[in-house]
Structure 1
């Protein structure tokens, strides 16, 4: 039987990089949970800000949170007020979590949380943002086939994209039996390790249940 492998994990150190870049010897579970809490809060709180990904780096006395978004103005706010509110909220979440080290750690040893905002110029060059758009349209009760065709057309309008696939699964159109539908255009060499494959999985919440949305993008091959 075939075994499905996540396209990005399959290409770590080849064409993709880790979203968490740090090393912890003694407190690895606590640091991993802190990453989970930070990502969960940002993706839920900033749902309308078109956040593609959240990268986390840890240094001595500092946690750097890098937010990649196509709408940085909505996130930053007037005079940077949005950044300060988000930083304060993250500190509060870590301080109130029972498994976090922030409760028992003295103030002198607590790491400072810094936020860095990176703008994504073209959201249709990102599988994550494309999947988010498809989810928003499905939740607005738009026909899924029409949404898939529109997404593929907008993605393939970019010169750097050589292939794309969009797949939706669930009770499409409110039918009783769940099914899966996919549309693709161009090349998508998933078995080539040097192929730069961007992949995203999102879920749309409808009154009939959850609709899964997957997007693959092929951005050419990487040569050293």
Structure 2
């Protein structure tokens, strides 16, 4: 009974929506500030030529607050009403000491 694993190295993490969502969720699990995480991701996404626009939504008990909050950041073009645009969607969930945080 052997286990066989194939590892694939992703060279451009910031061109895949699911990879970006997982990256944000993993950083929020480490209890980093949500503003800092979003700023770092947007900075790295602006360096990618293939990415035309970004929309990031995070919600939950952000930064240890008592009430739930939602943050929504849109940068660039996001033509949601046209069919010919290639839009990827990624979702992830982070669990920290205060509860769950959703990333979209």
Do they superpose with TM above 0.5?
A: yes
Aligned to 2:38: 148
Aligned residues: 103
Corresponding residue to 1:190 among 80, 85, 99: 80
Q: Which has the higher contact order (CA 8 A, sep 6+)?
A: 2
Q: 1 or 2, which has the higher strand percentage?
A: 1
In 1: Cα distance, 2:83 partner to 2:30 partner: 37
Aligned to 2:96: 206
Stretch deviating more after TM superposition (165-174 or 119-128): 119-128
Give the root-mean-square deviation of aligned CA atoms.
1.6
TM-score (norm 2): 0.89
> Cα 1:173–1:117, aligned 2, differ >3 Å: closer, same or farther?
closer
Q: Does 1:171 align with 2:77?
A: no
Instruction: Point out 4+ residue stretches in structure 1 off by more than 2 angstroms.
Output: 116-121
1:9-20 matches, within 5 Å, as: none
The superposition leaves residues 157-178 of structure 1 with CA deviations (integer Å, 9 ceiling, x where unpaired) of: 1111110111110011121211
Q: 1 or 2, which has the higher helix percentage?
A: 1
In 1: Cα distance, 2:41 partner to 2:84 partner: 25
1:1-224 matches, within 5 Å, as: 85-86=3-4, 118-214=8-104
TM-score (norm 1): 0.43
Shift in Å, 1:86: 3.9
In 2: Cα distance, 1:166 partner to 1:132 partner: 12
Query: What 5-or-longer segments of structure 1 have no aligned partner?
Result: 1-83, 88-115, 215-224
- Structure possessing the higher radius of gyration over alpha carbons: 1
Q: 3-state SS of the aligned residue for 2:75?
A: strand
Shift in Å, 1:153: 1.2
Q: 3-state SS of the aligned residue for 1:200?
A: coil
